[in-house]
Amino acid sequence: MTVTARRVAINTGGGDAPGLNAVIHGAVYAARNLGWQIFGIRDGYDGFLEPQNYPGGGGLVELRRSAVREISHLGGTILGTTNRGDPFCRPTRQQDGTFKDVDRSDELMDCFRKNRLDALIAVGGDGSLGIAHKLQSKGLRVIGVPKTIDNDLESTVLTFGFNTAVSFATECIDRLHSTALSHQRIIVVEVMGRHAGWIALHSGLAGRADAILIPEIPFEIEKVAAHLCRKHEEGKAYSIVVVAEGAKPVGGDVTVRSREAGRADRLGGIGETVAARLQELTGKENRCVVLGHLLRGGSPTAIDRILGVTFGAAAIHALSMGMDGVMVALNPPRIDFVPIQQAIAHLKLVPRDSEFVLVSRALDICFGGGE
């Protein structure tokens, strides 16, 4: 604990999430309070590995208070987050013009050394944190800050970005209610959530959905259709179905069967499949709306700003206490520090008997399975 960092770097990797700038804000202020210098690496590790793109050494920028004072409310990340790939197996153009995966981690470590950087604060999802962990093995001091809009990391109760995504998804669902009601339609809303259904569960519950389909509870489309028809007979003539992008039917292949072969992956996700099947089964006109990237952008909510600055400051605090290889985590009301490898080992999935699933069922919301 006697030797502490004096020049630290920070970068942001993977898909953007509202609150990244707040993390930077928190880290820079906390570092400056200790008299440290702090630098941002541009665009993941590109600022180091693709110097030709940053004339005048612009791949690494010193971050002063004045530069980050007014950013915590902005979406995106001032450092950028394009991802040309893992430094350990990075697609690199060869002299003959072809690309080959190359381990450029030694070169990367050199960049840290040449710039006399004592430590890295890596803000990212499990991919970025895995890379950070490998850099630690090579001798770099590393603190991780978790970023997952899906809120699917077991080691932290909450991460920034999730609340903004849920809030905007809920606002969009609110808007769709009036159309669904006026037209007596089924509207299917697809939200993010490849492995975990937290966004779908929270926004569906807040948005008064009739059904919520999540990866953790494989659904039977016939059950969903029957549920909507029963509610229709009880007087609710329209329906809202919220579907996580990773939701899948029992058995897992109904999706495939209902889609014509050869369609490009980007066209027609699970939301459209569900919509098409529900139309067949219920005979009711329907529409599918894919919120997708709308949920990643925009100004972070108050919660996500607070989480962001707190995580950023905590990362510096961890360094100042001599920690290494840990990830910042929220364990209310405390901030904890968890070994990175352990932190990213387990996804936090929606338990079938979690409080909010039970409440949703009590509110007559169907999950299409496990009933």
Determine if 1 is a binding residue for a second copy (CB under 8 A).
no
Name which of 166, 153, 149 is nearest 200 in CA terms.
Answer: 166
Interaction pattern, residues 293-322, with a second copy; x per rule: CB under 8 A: xx-xxxx-xxx-xx--xx--x---------
Determine if 350 is a binding residue for a second copy (CB under 8 A).
no
Name which of 76, 245, 270 is nearest 150 in CA terms.
Answer: 245
Shortest gap between Cβ of 166 and a second copy (angstroms)?
5
Give, for 99, the enclosing helix (H) or strand (E): strand 99-102
Shortest gap between Cβ of 271 and a second copy (angstroms)?
11
Residue with tokens 């910042």: 328
> In this chain, which of 108, 254, 289, 328 binds a second copy, going by CB under 8 A?
289
State whether the Cα torsion 147-132-45-83 is positive or negative: negative
Interaction pattern, residues 188-227, with a second copy; x per rule: CB under 8 A: --------------xx-xxxx-------------------
> In this chain, which of 108, 132, 290, 315 binds a second copy, going by CB under 8 A?
290
Which one of 46, 150, 210, 304 is the catalytic residue? 150
In a 3-state reduction of DSSP, which class is residue 308? helix
- Judge whether 198 and 169 are in contact, CB under 8 Å: no
Residues 227-256 that bind a second copy (CB under 8 A): 234-236
Query: Residue 324 and residue 305: Cα distance in Å, rounded?
Result: 25
> In this chain, which of 70, 110, 222, 253 binds a second copy, going by CB under 8 A?
70
Query: Residue 23 and residue 5: Cα distance in Å, rounded?
Result: 18
Determine if 178 is a binding residue for a second copy (CB under 8 A).
yes
150 is catalytic: yes
> In this chain, which of 40, 47, 59, 76 binds a second copy, going by CB under 8 A?
76
> In this chain, which of 9, 10, 25, 328 binds a second copy, going by CB under 8 A?
25
Name which of 28, 14, 367, 65 is nearest 216 in CA terms.
Answer: 367
Determine if 72 is a binding residue for a second copy (CB under 8 A).
yes
The neighbour count for residue 85, using CB atoms within 10 Å, is: 18
Catalytic residues: 150
